[in-house]
Amino acid sequence: MKFVVADSFISSLARLTNEAKKAAKITTFDLFANPANPGMRFHRLDRAQDKNFWSVRVNADLRIIVHRLEDSLLLCYVGHHDEAYAWAERRKIEIHPETGALQIVEIRERVEEVVITRPTAGQKIPLANCPDDLLLSYGVPAEWLSAVKQADEDALLTLAGHLPGEAGEAILELATGGKPAPRPVVVGGDAFAHPDAQRRFRLMTDIEELKRALEYPWDKWTIFLHPAQREWVEKDFNGPARVAGSAGTGKTIVALHRAAFLARAHPDARVLLTTFSDALASALQGQFQRLIAGEPRVAERVDIRALNAIGEHLYTLHFGAPRLVTRETLRQYLAEAAQGGPAARFSAAFLLDEWAEVVDAWQLKRWEDYRNVPRLGRKTRLPEARRAELWAVFEVVNHRLAGEGWLTHAGMFARLAEAIRDRPPYDFVIVDEAQDISIPQLRFLAAFDAKAPNRLFFAGDLGQRIFQQPFSWAALGVDVRGRSRTLRVNYRTSHQIRTQADKLLAPQLTDVDGNVEDRRGTVSVFNGPPPVIRVFDNEAQESAAVADWLKERMRECAAPGEIGIIVRAEAQIPRARRAAELAGLSSNVLDERVQIQPDCVSICTMPLAKGLEFRCVAVMACDDEVIPLQSRIQEIADESDLEEVYNTERHLLYVACTRARDALHISAVAPASEFLSDLLQ
């Protein structure tokens, strides 16, 4: 008998108290071990329209709702007695007649909250003229066709939440002018094997897989893949490939599954899963262990480290431990070389940035190379005479570093690239948060024979680029044109939060090579309350208001570990701590190790928020001169560089806002950041 778990069961399990979860899991394991055991107390739900719904007693209060057929047992829901029975009475499970996918369908006449009224004059009915056969082809259940075609824009958003996932996504995309991808048609086959069904239902083959599915309910989307995600996880590419998408569309999940898929498909291969920071690498490590728990042979062949860390590791193996120079030492050497000369007219910040982003990044050792190098992303114009003045400084620093045995990360990666070109240490490389990969790091990866099939795979979002200047990947031998896709289904962030945050960015973003990331048509799969945006007269008022908001979230059953407070920089952390204290909550300030504690509210800066997610997020201290950060603006040597600073500061605020799943509170003390006016448009 097939033992299948639905994502609705995982979601309902997550809402239970810890004691209730423990009891429900014990009963689930007993069902898996022997569903025919006479001790399992099945009760047919006579009031349910679908006569295959049964309840299984967990204890005096809890019930598991299962759908029982001769050849399968499907776990659908777990909850308190009356609530669980009501859930089953409002639903049925059937195979869609057009697509062949198994669906959990809400019974139209029993869904009281979806009320379709006759439209008033001027109301837009987006899908009034949409053909029935087209809606059916996208998986819309037949009994919901009339409601879909009568709904105005607001009702359609509510309606989408009551439809099977693929149908809800399709009608929202159609309503916003998009054209959803055609749904697969698999009629007459295994309904559980349909790509749409695999998003909702997971066949459990052993007890370890079941334990993994039940242990991490918040990470259910690491198990249930969207067909668009699955396609790119398993696809063969004849060169480097990239998956893009706005925050919450599952790019990291694709990267994790891709690493596991390649390791399973190639038993002798070595796989590197990497990203730009130690904190993100640590998060990837934890997620990957959950994904492949019980598969030690897969785990031992997938190396998960930050790019700088793997560079230092490989360099040590080839040449011995690198003697890496610090940023502070570089700043000192540049200042000393410029002192008293023509280059003294340039600020210390400009000298360091020009060195790091041009001279060192491209490993320029000759005047002719610096004179001719394209300065992509560097807005300050430098005629040849000015470049000559600067080169006099950079040449001195180059010689001094070499003479004293110092190595930069760029120099380390350059030497490594030559060492591994003929014998790459990994067969496959997957890079997460690829928008923040540096020039030296990409040149290093290009040395892995970038054009080899499936060798390089990237996941990233141009809208979250916060650390690196734009540059051409194709010029470095990593050309993803024709092998790039944008994911459009948002699983993490509610429709209300996503649409508000998207106002910070342009609808289309284009990289230097002409690859376009079109953010239009992205669909969130669930609703939530609209974000709260408030400006206060002083910090005390802000902290008190945020504290009240945190208390409300706790009353809604949010756990402290599900709440994050995010600020622009370390200077604003005391304001976040104060809000948590006023709410009566313990707080934990995250660092590069990013250790979230379940009993504490997490506090972090915007750069450290990358890769994190919380049920509820308060973004505090969005004041003028805080975001954009005044110190960054003061370091600008030329006004034309302002655009890049403003872009990355916008991206930081976008990252902070999209860490929230269900609830978002944004606050500032007057005068507020100009970015808040964009959010309020």
β-pair type (241-245, 456-459): parallel
Confidence at residue 36, expressed as pLDDT on a 0 to 100 scale? 83
Predicted pLDDT at 218:
46
Question: What are the Cα distances from residue 266, in Å, to 300, 427, 634?
Answer: 13, 9, 52
Choose between 294 and 15: higher pLDDT: 15
Task: Extract the tokens encoding 138.
Answer: 């996208």
Predicted confidence at residue 524, as pLDDT, reads 82
CA-to-CA dists, residue 67 to 53, 92, 379, angstroms: 5, 9, 62
102 pLDDT tier (thresholds 50, 70, 90): very high
* Lowest mean pLDDT across 218-227, 330-339, 421-430, 459-468: 218-227
* Mean pLDDT along residues 341-345: 92
Give the residues across from 271 on adjacent strands. Answer: 302, 428
Q: Side chain identity at 381, as an amino acid letter? A: R
**Which residue(s) pair with 535 in the sheet?**
668
Tens digits of per-residue pLDDT, 272-300? Answer: 999 998 888 988 998 898 888 778 899 99
DSSP assignment of 386-434: HHHHHHHHHHHHHHHHHHHT-B-HHHHHHHHHHHHSSS-S-SEEEEESG
The closest of 191, 172, 170, 168 to 103, measured between CA atoms, is: 191
pLDDT, the chain, mean? 90
The answer, yes or no, to whether residue 564 has pLDDT greater than 90, is yes
Residue 113 pLDDT > 70: no
CB of 466 closer than 8 Å to CB of 437: no
Beta partners for 65? Answer: 55, 77
Q: Which of 115-124, 447-456, 533-542 has the highest mean pLDDT?
A: 533-542
pLDDT, average across residues 617-635: 90
Burial class (CB in 10 A: 0-12, 13-18, 19+), 268: exposed
Q: Which of 374, 279, 262, 332 is nearest to 606 (CA)?
A: 279
Residue 108 DSSP code: G
Residue 384 has pLDDT above 50, yes or no: yes
**Sequence-ordered list of residues with C-beta below 8 angstroms from that of 190, at least 6 positions apart, any chain:** none
Q: pLDDT at position 256, please?
A: 95
Which residues, 6 or more positions from 473, have their beta carbon under 8 angstroms from its beta carbon?
442, 479, 480, 511, 512, 513
Q: Are 607 and 436 in contact (CB under 8 A)?
A: no
Rounded mean pLDDT, 515-538: 87
pLDDT at 378 exceeding the cut of 80: no
pLDDT band at 104 (very low <50, low <70, confident <90, very high): very high
Residue 620 near residue 604 (C-beta atoms within 8 A)? no
For the chain, give the longest Cα–Cα distance: 91
Going from the C-alpha of 178 to that of each of 145, 426, 588, the distances in angstroms are: 19, 40, 43
Confidence of residue 115 (pLDDT cuts 50, 70, 90): low
Averaged pLDDT, 345-352: 88
Task: Indicate whether 622 pLDDT > 90.
Answer: yes
Per-residue confidence (pLDDT) for residue 247, from 0 to 100:
87
- pLDDT (mean) for 106-110: 84
Band the pLDDT of 362: cuts 50, 70, 90.
Answer: very high
pLDDT over 60 at 379, yes or no: no
Backbone φ and ψ of 623, nearest 5°: -85, 160
User: Residue 255 has what pLDDT?
Assistant: 96
For 1-20, what is the mean pLDDT?
91
Could you give the CA distance from residue 330 to residue 197 in angstroms, rounded to a whole number? Answer: 56
Element (H, E) at 661: strand 660-669
Q: How far is the first Cα of the chain from the last one, in angstroms, to the nearest whole number? A: 55
The percent of residues above 90 in pLDDT, for the chain, comes to 62
Residue type, 526: F
Q: What is the mean pLDDT of residues 344-369?
A: 91
Q: Is the pLDDT of residue 676 over 90?
A: yes
Please report the pLDDT score of residue 119 as a whole number.
59
Which is higher by pLDDT, 555 or 228?
Answer: 555
Confirm if 126 and 156 have CB atoms less than 8 A apart.
yes
Over residues 637-662, mean pLDDT: 85
Assign 610 a pLDDT band (cuts: 50, 70, 90): confident
The rounded distance, in Å, linking the Cα atoms of 263 and 2 is 27
Nearest to 172 by CA among 495, 440, 635, 427: 495
pLDDT at 81 over 50: yes
At residue 226, does pLDDT exceed 80?
A: no
Burial 542-569 (b: 16+ CB within 10 A, else e): bbebbbebbeebbeeebebbbbbbbbbb
